[in-house]
Structure 1
Amino acid sequence: MKTTLQINITKTSKSRLQETDFDNLVFGKSISDHMFVADYKNGEWTDLRIEPYAPLHLMPANSTLHYGQSIFEGMKAYKNEAGEVLLFRADANQKRLNESAVRMCIPEIPAEIFMEGLTTLLDLDRAWIPNKLGHSLYIRPFIFATDDYLGVRPSETYKFMIFTCPVGDYYSKPVSVKVEQKYTRAAEGGTGFAKAAGNYAASLYPALQAQKLGYDQLLWTDGKTHQNIEESGTMNVMFMINDTLITAPTHTGTILKGITRDSVLKIAKEMGYTVEERFLTVSELENALKKGALQEAFGTGTAATIAHIATIHVNGTDYELPAKPSYAFSHQVLKKLDDIKYGKVADTRGWIMKF
């Protein structure tokens, strides 16, 4: 495909495509053949290239290893019946990556480099994109510091990379979650809104404790009072109570501005649902569970798209949610999103880039 940038391409001498079992994909395990790379030095992004996926050479004093200057994005590409590649809301991912970059003192990546590097890479590895419903090519753009220096300061050099992997479902069944009221994922004034690697590292221990008790994920609460539901470990979370869709607001800076979240809210409003971007309190959630007023609870995110919640643990009690009928909102919105992503309906919102 046409590019306006000089991107040097070195193709792999031995593709791993034939070794990949596309019928039994484990999320994040099978990596495509190539990766896009750009280096930041002397105040500019340079040396744009695509090369075979391979190990990186890092020095022990690499500043990311010590001070965590690393951010990333997650997005997906799909194939329609004609074999065309469809990218879902890539512009939103590019903008969000730069919002994270500003907070983490990382130089922003120009939109032109992000988009041309991405589309050139996908065009080269388009054979890796599954053409099966429910499957896609997961895309991981990321930036990390590369200074070989132990001083505590923002790095002066960075590497921007993109690699991809074919994936199936992130969650194969509805998930069970536990309301977390001890540990804190993010606090106001912190980095909760950014897709910073350290945010995920800090969440691993509490999530592991919940998993040992049999729960798939946590429902994080705010760091001040632990009374307001914020988001889940790998996704934003939404609740349907009395036909009203409720999800936490993002203005506090503690919650990721999910692109799937935003898409679901826009579709819900188009469908005529009342949408409230406000905090659902733990007591309000518990009361709704006791009274049977909670119609649906689900997570939204790039990896999972829509993850139905089957069990919610709060204040020592497990509450089982009934199975959702096909006409439930979460099923409807999932179908609408899939129809857009796989090109089964016309894109009237400008969400799809096709090539």
Structure 2
Amino acid sequence: MSEVIELASIHDVAKEAGVSVATVSKVINHYPDVSEKTRKKVKNAIALLRYRPNVIARGLVTGRSWTVGVLINIPFTNPYVSMLLEGVKTALENSGYDLMRLSARLNDPDYSFADHCQSRNLDGVVVFGVEKEHRCIQELIQSGIPTMFVDTDVTGHRAGNITTDNRSGVHMAVQHLYELGHRRIACLAGIPGQAVNDSRLAGYRDGLQAASIPYRADYVLAGDYSFESGLTGMQELLQLDAPPTAVVCTSDMTAFGAIHAIEARGLTVPEDISVVGFDNIFEAELFKPALTTVNQNIHTIGVKSIEELIAMIKNPDYPPPVVMEPASLVIRESTARLVGSEITR
């Protein structure tokens, strides 16, 4: 006959640690108002007794599922996504929350993303890559489910957002190219109408205006942040009567495609054309030539999106956060002074 192992209860842990059941609950649920000394005593008791909280019971007591969802509506093969999710993972490791990856049928007129989240009893959700005008996003905001949007400038009673200072980032890129002597500076942009793309295009125009360079519509081509859009966009720019000597790309993947197109024409980067990316993904430093790019703190954005989401979950009165992370320019090998130019203001 097998031996029946009696599982420890929260009362056993409280007795072993010499504290109240409420204090044990606060430690398990990561409340901040417990001293480090008491927290250590409770954790030692939990380890000694091999106590495992009952997730269902915990949810009944706290009114939470201790699960947050993440909806990312761009391919997971995009390096940006892996860096963002690594930040999400870092923030969740010691939070007490689990993560559920969500799929969304955004083109289904009968589908409700808010209902999808509520049916899974999610405490909150992080959303990335969905147009702010989309019906599902508006339903989610109105539902009151705590939500953090990444790179989407929408807010609501229980919804905040986090992004990079895209405008100043691209402005810095244009200024850098101008200081290298470039005057024919093109832009391989992203998806028209998206807040991120609009901000980066505004930064491009800011940079041109600050340098007294006239705006040329034929130097600005829309894309979708992919390698392929950089490839085809650069091919089109190279066919112009006066092709650009430099190009700002609104993603590193687009920049990689642009460089491939330039080299396929027998030209070189940066000797013939300088190229700047945006994101500073891991591959940017390994690419040949190493890519000059606008750095956004992707990992930090992932971390803060979860930290702010949990703050909203824990406190219904927590103001919906609007967070803007600073951008910076990382200068590498893909940009150089224009040969034969004289830099003048």
Q: Quick check: which one's helix share is greater?
A: 2
Between Structure 1 and Structure 2, the one with more strand by share is 1
Same fold (TM over 0.5): no
TM-score range, shorter chain: under 0.3
TM-score (norm 2): 0.27
